[in-house]
Structures are given as C-alpha cells and as structure tokens.
C-alpha cells in the first residue's frame, strides 16, 4: 500500500497531503502573519505568494489576531494554509460548515480552479448534497460504518432511472429491473432502479445525485461497489 507512490507516514507522503476538518486547526493566539510564518517554517513546500494573494482578496489582514477572526474567516485561513503547501491531495472534512452561502460558493469555486489548474485531487466530505453535485466526479457514500456506494458519478447517473407508475405493480417491477428502493404515495410508486430503459407501463426520467444518495441510504442492503481489485485511490 502506498500514498501517492510513497510509503504511508513517510516524509514524501506527508508533504503530498494537506487536510482541513471542521474544527479548523489554527493557532488562535497568534496573529495571521505569525500563523503564516509558522506554517512556512513547518513545511518543506510553501507558496507565500498564493497565501498572501488569497488572504488579501479575502480582506484578512496580517496583523489580525487569528482567534478574533470570524468563524468563516478562520475556515478560509485554514484552507489557504492547506493549499499554500502545494499538496497533490487535499482532504476536506466538512470544512465549509461555518461559512455563509456566498462564502461557500467562493471556496468551492476556488477549489475547482485549483483542481483544473494544478491537477489537485480533493477528497471532500459533506452532508450538503448540493455541494457534492457541483464538484464531485467520484462518489463514496458511508452508512453505518460501511461503504454503501463507491463509483464514478457519471456511471451512477447513467445506470439508474427514476420510475413512476402504479403502486399495485411494484411487486412485478422487482422481476423486471433491479429496484434499489420503492416508495408508495397513494396509487403511485416512486422507484429508484438500476435500468437502461423503463419497463412497459412505467414513466422514466434521469436521476439526480440526491436521489441516488438518498435511495441507497434508505435501502442499506443495496450497494454499488468498485470491481474486485479496483482501488478507489492510489
């Protein structure tokens, strides 16, 4: 097993990975300039220009005390520090929880720019499905401590359909297609199915990522996993 081609825990592996979680790890008693200096001293790779430009654009002054910044500004600072290390892989665990909607959009846009321009890979953990729909190319759904879905987003959306039809014909539908989950609403049934086309008597439309995620969470026995021997990340 390797992390980006290097042994786990090695100096090369640590240098290639940055992480930010919802606790926003910072030295809150320091001023922003001192936080930047500490980060520069602790890392072999450091892009001072990137950090300076980003914080200037955000209006975060070098003399400001970190602990007196707003929660959103602290999250922005932590993300700036993580990216200034110029990692190959960025791990983000609910990093936008303290940001307002406009700031969340700004951060997501910045991340997508980094992905496009620098070839950065991002593992992004979030309960906000709308964020995942905007940025995710590969989806992993965890439920009750196990992987329930692990597949490329295009593959998931291309192999599932949302079906609508008579509720009294749901039992027959199970014999025609692979039903992930079925919900009855009066005389109608709403079904998430793995299918290339709708069976006779059923209306079909493309699914959204939200419908796929919620469908598999409703049905713990249903799973979409990588092919045997396929690693999600190398």
Q: Which letter does DSSP use for residue 167 in this model? A: G
Evaluate the CA torsion angle 69, 75, 76, 80 in order and state its sign: positive
Provide mean pLDDT across the span 97-101: 78
Strand segments (E) across the chain: 17-21, 89-93, 121-125, 138-143, 146-152, 160-166, 178-185, 188-194, 203-206
pLDDT above 90 coverage of the chain, percent: 55
Q: pTM of the prediction?
A: 0.81
**pLDDT attached to residue 7:** 84
Residue 9 has pLDDT above 90, yes or no: no
4: closest CA among 63, 125, 126, 89? 89
Number of alpha helices (DSSP H) and beta strands (DSSP E) in the chain? 9, 9
CATH number for the domain running over 155-218: 3.30.70
Report residue 104 CA to chain centroid gap: 13
Residue 194 has pLDDT above 70, yes or no: yes
- Higher-confidence residue of 59 and 11: namely 59
Do 11-136 and 155-218 show the same overall fold?
no
* pLDDT band at 233; cut points 50, 70, 90: very low
Where in the chain are the domains? 11-136, 155-218
pLDDT above 70 coverage of the chain, percent: 97
Residue 229 has pLDDT above 60, yes or no: no
Q: Quickly list H helices, 43-147.
A: 48-58, 71-84, 101-118, 129-135
CA pair distance 209, 153, nearest whole angstrom:
8
CA pair distance 155, 153, nearest whole angstrom:
5
Residue 32 has pLDDT above 50, yes or no: yes
Residue 17 has pLDDT above 80, yes or no: yes
Partner residues linked to 160 by β-bridges: 194
Beta carbons of 96 and 111 less than 8 angstroms apart: no
- Higher-confidence residue of 38 and 104: namely 38
Provide mean pLDDT across the span 94-121: 82
Report residue 43 CA to chain centroid gap: 26
* pLDDT band at 131; cut points 50, 70, 90: confident
- Higher-confidence residue of 15 and 179: namely 179
Interstrand relation of 89-93 and 121-125 (parallel, antiparallel or unpaired): parallel
**pLDDT attached to residue 231:** 47
Mean pLDDT, rounded, of the chain: 88
CA pair distance 165, 32, nearest whole angstrom:
59
Beta carbons of 35 and 48 less than 8 angstroms apart: no
Residue 234 has pLDDT above 50, yes or no: no
**pLDDT attached to residue 227:** 59
CA pair distance 45, 3, nearest whole angstrom:
18
* pLDDT band at 228; cut points 50, 70, 90: low
Beta carbons of 181 and 222 less than 8 angstroms apart: yes
Residue 55 has pLDDT above 60, yes or no: yes
The topology (CATH level 3) of 11-136 is Rossmann fold (3.40.50)
225: closest CA among 148, 123, 155? 148
Residue 138 has pLDDT above 50, yes or no: yes
- Residue holding tokens 């992905």? 115
**pLDDT attached to residue 62:** 94
């Amino acid at each position: 097993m390797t992390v980006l081609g290097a042994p786990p825990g090695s100096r090369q592996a640590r240098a290639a990975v940055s992480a930010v979680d919802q606790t926003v790890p910072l030295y809150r008693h320091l001023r922003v300039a001192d936080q930047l200096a500490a980060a520069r001293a602790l890392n072999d790779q450091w892009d001072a220009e990137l950090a300076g430009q980003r914080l200037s654009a955000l209006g975060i002054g070098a003399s400001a005390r970190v602990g007196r910044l707003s929660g959103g500004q602290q999250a922005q600072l932590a993300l700036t520090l993580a990216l200034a290390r110029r990692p190959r892989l960025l791990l983000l665990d609910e990093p936008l929880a303290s940001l307002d909607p406009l700031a969340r959009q700004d951060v997501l846009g910045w991340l997508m720019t980094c992905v496009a321009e620098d070839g950065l890979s991002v593992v992004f953990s979030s309960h906000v499905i709308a964020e995942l729909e905007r940025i995710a190319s590969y989806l992993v759904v965890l439920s009750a401590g196990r992987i329930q879905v692990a597949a490329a987003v295009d593959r998931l959306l291309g192999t599932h359909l949302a079906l609508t039809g008579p509720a009294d014909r749901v039992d027959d539908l199970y014999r025609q297609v692979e039903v992930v989950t079925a919900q009855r609403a009066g005389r109608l049934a709403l079904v998430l199915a793995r299918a290339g086309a709708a069976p006779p008597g059923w209306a079909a439309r493309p699914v959204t990522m939200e419908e796929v995620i919620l469908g598999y969470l409703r049905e713990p026995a249903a799973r979409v996993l990588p092919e045997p021997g396929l690693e999600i990340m190398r």
